[in-house]
Structure 1
Amino acid sequence: MIKVSVICTAYNHEDFVEEALRSVMEQTYREVELIVIDNASTDGTAEKIRKFCSHNSGIRFISNAWNKGLCTAFNQGLRFASGKYIIDLSADDVLLPDRIARQVAHFESLPEEYGVIYSNAQYLDAQSTSLHCHYVTDKEGKATENIPDGDVYLAVLKKYFICTPTMMMRRSLLDRLGGYDESLTYEDFDFWVRSAVICKYSYQDEVLTQKRILRRSLSTRSYEPGSGMLESTYVVCNKAYDLNRNQAEFDALALRIRGYIRKCFFTQEFELAGRFRQLLNYIEDPGPATEFIVLLCRLRLPFNWLYRVYYDWKIRAPLRQREAVATGVTER
């Protein structure tokens, strides 16, 4: 039987880590290797992991003395992984019972040129209340839109569309890439860019994972000045510039960069906006609108408060409302 390695990274996930680990151990597929890395949690996460390991043999647990970052923690686990396929699991997400069995079967039906498969996911809030699916589904549980499949590199440049924890990756692909880039704050955009240019992706039209949406998650910190998220994105955009193969890909990258310049303004990453603008200029003329935003950045206007208000309205308020409904408490 083909072995699958699940690398679970945890940081201050004491409320969810046991459920995440249990979802791996209760898979219908038996040839599963679980490697858990606690990245110097300051709550009770490490203690809960140790307790779980004491009742479940065969789990490798790595406890870091300091937070080494998500990418480095994953690579720590990757060095011990012996599976043909790899799953990167956050300690607040959940694998449905037959996920690994169904993904292995799907992967084994594909040619070697496919390096990644991904699927649909159900989103949960902090109380484990179901919110919605990553892709809208019909009555049969199938996605109602066409999901990119095969050569997805151009699609990756255009927009975010892959739900990261649903991915299963070939170990050989990760070895070829050298794992995740440890200089970056987050992993997925860089992995998609570097891998999609050398291999194909396959979409599996099933809900196989539950992803938890939390207000304190890494993705919600992208609006904070100095978070490192946009700096890492700038690095990835430079990689994409070197990897692009045709004009359509450069056009997609240019559009993406314009969006990041606007975000730099609102997050007060003023110097970084200038570097994004320089990269854009290698592709096309930035144009008056973008040049105006860069000018505002040079003036260093403190508009981050406005972006926080927008973010709170657009992202956080719906989450709070769903949590209120789940707990029976409504805001007045």
Structure 2
Amino acid sequence: MLYIDRFHKIMRNYPNVHNPCVTIITPLYNGGQFVSESIASIVNQTYSNWELIVIDDCSTDDGTRIVEEYQKGDNRIKLIRNECNLGPAKTRNLGIEAAAGRYIAFLDSDDIWLPNKLEVQLRFMEDNNTPFTFAYYEQIDEQGKLIKKMDYFPKKVTYRSTMMSNKIGCLTAMYDTQYFGKVYMVDIRNRQDYTLWLQLLKKVDYAYCVPEILARYRVRKGSISSNKWKLVKYHWHIYRHIEQQSFFTSLYYITNYITLRLLRK
């Protein structure tokens, strides 16, 4: 309680210096089933200086209508409509381009933040003077039931350790544009967020982990992220063609990836 009381006291006394705006990027493609729950988790944040940019990638369901209903009651919510389907990387990048906030964070339309996510993470970033952070989170199924807690990440990660095994969940990542400028995702079909983390880690020694569960990641049936072996192909492409590592260096990283991630029970 003393921690939270001190935070709110600072917010009241220094609103312009210690109350930076956070832009939240949410790509939307046929996400009507869960998007209301995702937006509600943002609206209910204990930290209020944020903007939510939802980018609709030519959905055919009622997802955009749900977003528009939220817009009517909250002018912090913005909706961008793609003229054609662009895929997740370009869609998120449009949100980054339009962002007005100092900090950029991400939440997909089927994931959820806990109410204190922004408050705790921003306080951690200020206290530790770090421009790039992530946090613990939970995995849930499509019905919202807990699968497992992702609360075993190290205190900090580097470019090299992240090449071997990514610990940064997109729904918890946040970076400071005052330090990095706006950094965008590489336009590939999958693991776009991973390419962004690697770019950021080339510009800073560490990304630090907030040691608290701040979000819930929904595991969907048939998703790429639920098929571990398909991910090998995407990681190999990143190592060889995006990060431009040699064949043997890429082989070293992919072997570590398989050992640390795919074979982990």
Give the secondary-structure state (helix, strand or coil) at the position aligned to 1:190: helix
Question: Residues 2 and 31 of structure 1 are in contact (CA less than 8 Å); yes or no, is this contact kept in structure 2?
Answer: yes
**CA gap 1:158/1:229 in 2 versus in 1, 3 angstroms:** closer
- Count of aligned positions: 241
Question: Residues 5 and 35 of structure 1 are in contact (CA less than 8 Å); yes or no, is this contact kept in structure 2?
Answer: yes
After the TM superposition, which of the residue ranges 231-240 and 31-40 deviates more from structure 2? 231-240
Task: Indicate the percent of aligned positions where both proteins have the same amino acid.
Answer: 23
The residue aligned with 2:191 is 186
* Distance of 2:193 and 2:127 partners within structure 1: 25
- The superposition leaves residues 111-155 of structure 1 with CA deviations (integer Å, 9 ceiling, x where unpaired) of 3xx3311110011111111221113xxxxxxx4xx6151x51121
Question: Residues 38 and 113 of structure 2 are in contact (CA less than 8 Å); yes or no, is this contact kept in structure 1?
Answer: yes
Given the alignment of the two structures, is residue 116 of structure 1 paired with residue 132 of structure 2, yes or no?
Answer: yes
**CA gap 1:67/1:22 in 2 versus in 1, 3 angstroms:** same
**CA gap 1:229/1:258 in 2 versus in 1, 3 angstroms:** closer
**CA gap 1:233/1:50 in 2 versus in 1, 3 angstroms:** farther
Given the alignment of the two structures, is residue 152 of structure 1 paired with residue 158 of structure 2, yes or no?
Answer: yes
**CA gap 1:122/1:64 in 2 versus in 1, 3 angstroms:** same
**CA gap 1:45/1:223 in 2 versus in 1, 3 angstroms:** farther
Given the alignment of the two structures, is residue 167 of structure 1 paired with residue 185 of structure 2, yes or no?
Answer: no
Question: Residues 125 and 213 of structure 1 are in contact (CA less than 8 Å); yes or no, is this contact kept in structure 2?
Answer: yes
- The superposition leaves residues 134-187 of structure 1 with CA deviations (integer Å, 9 ceiling, x where unpaired) of 13xxxxxxx4xx6151x511211211322221111112456354x112355431
* Distance of 2:108 and 2:29 partners within structure 1: 9
The residue aligned with 2:7 is none
* Distance of 2:185 and 2:117 partners within structure 1: 23
The residue aligned with 1:254 is 251
Given the alignment of the two structures, is residue 207 of structure 1 paired with residue 190 of structure 2, yes or no?
Answer: no
The residue aligned with 1:299 is none
In the superposition, the TM-score normalised over structure 1's length comes to: 0.65
Q: Which runs of 4+ in 1 moved over 6 A?
A: none
Pairwise CA distance, 1:23? 0.8
Pairwise CA distance, 1:231? 5.6
The residue aligned with 2:61 is 43
Pairwise CA distance, 1:198? 1.7
**CA gap 1:221/1:13 in 2 versus in 1, 3 angstroms:** farther
**CA gap 1:40/1:233 in 2 versus in 1, 3 angstroms:** farther
Given the alignment of the two structures, is residue 237 of structure 1 paired with residue 228 of structure 2, yes or no?
Answer: no
The residue aligned with 1:84 is 102
Letter of the structure 1 residue corresponding to residue 106 of structure 2: D
Question: Residues 11 and 41 of structure 1 are in contact (CA less than 8 Å); yes or no, is this contact kept in structure 2?
Answer: yes
The residue aligned with 1:96 is 114
Pairwise CA distance, 1:3? 0.9
* Distance of 1:189 and 1:235 partners within structure 2: 9
CA RMSD of aligned residues (A): 2.9
Can you give the 5+ residue segments of structure 1 that lack an aligned partner in the other structure?
136-142, 245-249, 262-310, 315-332
**CA gap 1:3/1:97 in 2 versus in 1, 3 angstroms:** same
Letter of the structure 2 residue corresponding to residue 182 of structure 1: D
**CA gap 1:21/1:174 in 2 versus in 1, 3 angstroms:** farther
Question: Residues 139 and 217 of structure 2 are in contact (CA less than 8 Å); yes or no, is this contact kept in structure 1?
Answer: yes
Q: Which has the larger radius of gyration?
A: 1
**CA gap 1:147/1:259 in 2 versus in 1, 3 angstroms:** closer
Give the secondary-structure state (helix, strand or coil) at the position aligned to 2:46: coil
Give the secondary-structure state (helix, strand or coil) at the position aligned to 1:166: coil
* Distance of 2:215 and 2:134 partners within structure 1: 10
* Distance of 2:61 and 2:233 partners within structure 1: 28
- The superposition leaves residues 250-297 of structure 1 with CA deviations (integer Å, 9 ceiling, x where unpaired) of 976432345899xxxxxxxxxxxxxxxxxxxxxxxxxxxxxxxxxxxx
The residue aligned with 1:106 is 124
Pairwise CA distance, 1:196? 1.2
Can you give the 5+ residue segments of structure 2 that lack an aligned partner in the other structure?
1-18
* Distance of 1:51 and 1:229 partners within structure 2: 40
- The superposition leaves residues 50-96 of structure 1 with CA deviations (integer Å, 9 ceiling, x where unpaired) of 22222333311012232211111111111221111111110101111
